[in-house]
Structure 1
Amino acid sequence: MQHKFKSLHEKNKQTSNKELYSSINKNKKKEEADRRPFLENVSEQLKLPPDILAGAPIITAMGRNEVCIENYKGILEYNDTFVKVLSKIGIIRVEGKNLNIPYFTNDEMRITGLVSAITYITQNKTEGVR
């Protein structure tokens, strides 16, 4: 009578593959976490949008008659048809008719009038909403 021995090779191979892929996935997750920017981690911990901590401009349009810009660096040009504002991400251009800046501080400004467009001008690239 012959006894048949069942090979454990396939079972060991499957177990080894699971352990190998599990450690690879853990390493990938750790690498991705290490790559995340510092401000993103801080904003997640504080439950704040990353834009706010990075100093990105916040633009709030209230209808077509008022625009508030926060986190800007300075006013580049200003007349009754357009306002150009410098920000960390580039230039923000607000176009319209009868534009006025009734209020501004070092951090925030209000533009009133009939706003027709808000355009973001970055390095050799224009993105806008019309």
Structure 2
Amino acid sequence: MKKFKSSHKKNKEKNHKELYDSIDKAKKHEKAERITYLESLSNQLRLPSDMLAGAPIITAIGRNELYIENYKGILEYNSNSIRILTKIGRVNIEGKNLNIEYFTNDEMKIIGMIFSIDFVTGKDLQRP
């Protein structure tokens, strides 16, 4: 009597590999579709995407200094809260003894004890 070797294990491994290869290809395709026009343009021009989009650049130095670039305006300003309007939404800064040390048309420096920095975009902009 001749024994037959089952090919089940071999087929199972092959199908498993094909399945995961197709999932990986789908993920790569999905990721490629997510690249926006500005990201594509910035990659071609070798410029940072935030420069083209006008996105705010926020630099925090410890908990006591905050620099904001590319803002549109100041919505609210008191010693506990500062709300800044940007092209992509609103930036809320909460803290204690907050003060705008200086501001120009596109940059400002905030000092004081900073507790939180929140970004508000989309439909959340309707709320204060």
Pick the TM interval, shorter chain. 0.5 to 0.7
Aligned to 1:83: 82
Aligned to 1:15: none
Residue type of the alignment partner of 1:55 = G
Shift of 1:57: 0.6
- Structure 1: gaps spanning 5 or more residues: 1-28
Give secondary structure in 1 for the equivalent of 2:41.
helix
1:61 counterpart = 2:60: yes
- Structure 2: gaps spanning 5 or more residues: 1-28
Residue type of the alignment partner of 2:48 = P
Residue type of the alignment partner of 2:110 = I
Residue identity over aligned pairs, in percent, reads 58
Structure with the higher helix share, 1 or 2: 2
Written as runs of structure 1 = structure 2, the 5 A alignment for 1:1-130 is: 37-125=36-124
CA spacing shift, 1:89–1:97, aligned 2, 3 Å? same
How many residues get paired?
Answer: 96
Residue type of the alignment partner of 2:75 = L
- Bigger drift between 105-114 and 117-126 goes to 117-126
Shift of 1:54: 0.5
- Bigger drift between 96-105 and 46-55 goes to 46-55
Measure the CA separation in 2 of the matches of 1:38 and 1:121.
23
Shift of 1:53: 1.0
Measure the CA separation in 1 of the matches of 2:83 and 2:111.
14
TM-score (norm 2): 0.66
Shift of 1:36: 5.1
Give secondary structure in 1 for the equivalent of 2:82.
strand
